[in-house]
Amino acid sequence: MSDTPFAQPLPSQGAATTSSDETVDAGDRGALRVADKVVEKVTRAAVLGVPGVAPDAATTGTVGRALGRAYPHIACSRAGDRARVLLEIALVWPAPAASVARQVCEAVTEQLRTLAGVHVDEVRATVARIVDPSDVLEATGTTKERRVR
């Protein structure tokens, strides 16, 4: 199997196996490489999990989503297991922008460290849009109770 990413042959390929009482140092067992797409998906999930952040369906129409214009916009730059993340997010009115942006930064840092093993040097969240709550209700498929005047 020449296209496998492992440097050492598998036991089924004739490699010597270690006995159960022999300890292998963690650094000698291999390495974990996290793809850039994984970092972006974990970041997106962390951002959308913060209360007050508008879901991507509420920030643009079907065509806009297909063209990649929905919020959040995510730009990650990585060097090894370190990352810097720039975000543009949309909030649901009347969420407090400073508080939600701080929560987003904390959530992204925590989720990337926990789920991907990536150390975050910087997270910058910019509130780029405010979404009306009725747009969120329409996007999620729930109906808003109408008042009779």
pLDDT band at 143; cut points 50, 70, 90: very low
pLDDT at 59 over 70: yes
Q: Rounded to two decimals, what is the model's pTM?
A: 0.70
User: Pick the residue with more confidence: 28 or 65?
Assistant: 28
**Assigned token pair, 20:** 């159960």
Mean pLDDT of the chain, nearest integer: 80
Asked if residues 58 and 73 have their Cβ atoms less than 8 Å apart, the reply is no
pLDDT at residue 80, as a whole number: 86
Q: In the CATH scheme, what architecture does the domain 52-141 have?
A: 2-Layer Sandwich (3.30)
pLDDT at residue 6, as a whole number: 46
pLDDT at 13 over 80: no
pLDDT at 48 over 80: yes
**Burial grade of 96 (CB within 10 A; 0-12, 13-18, 19 or more):** exposed
pLDDT per position as a tens digit, 97-132:
999 999 999 999 999 999 999 999 999 999 999 988
pLDDT at residue 1, as a whole number: 46
Q: What is the mean pLDDT of residues 75-102?
A: 93
Share of the chain above pLDDT 90, in %: 48
pLDDT at residue 43, as a whole number: 95
Per domain, the residue ranges of the chain are 52-141
Chain center to CA of 120: 12
3-state DSSP of the chain: CCCCCCCCCCHHHCCCCCCCCCCCCHHHCCCCCCCHHHHHHHHHHHHHCCCCECCHHHHCCHHHHHCCCCCCEEEEEEECCEEEEEEEEEEECCCCHHHHHHHHHHHHHHHHHHHHCCEEEEEEEEEEEEECHHHHHHHHCCCCCCCCC
Q: What is the mean pLDDT of residues 16-21?
A: 54
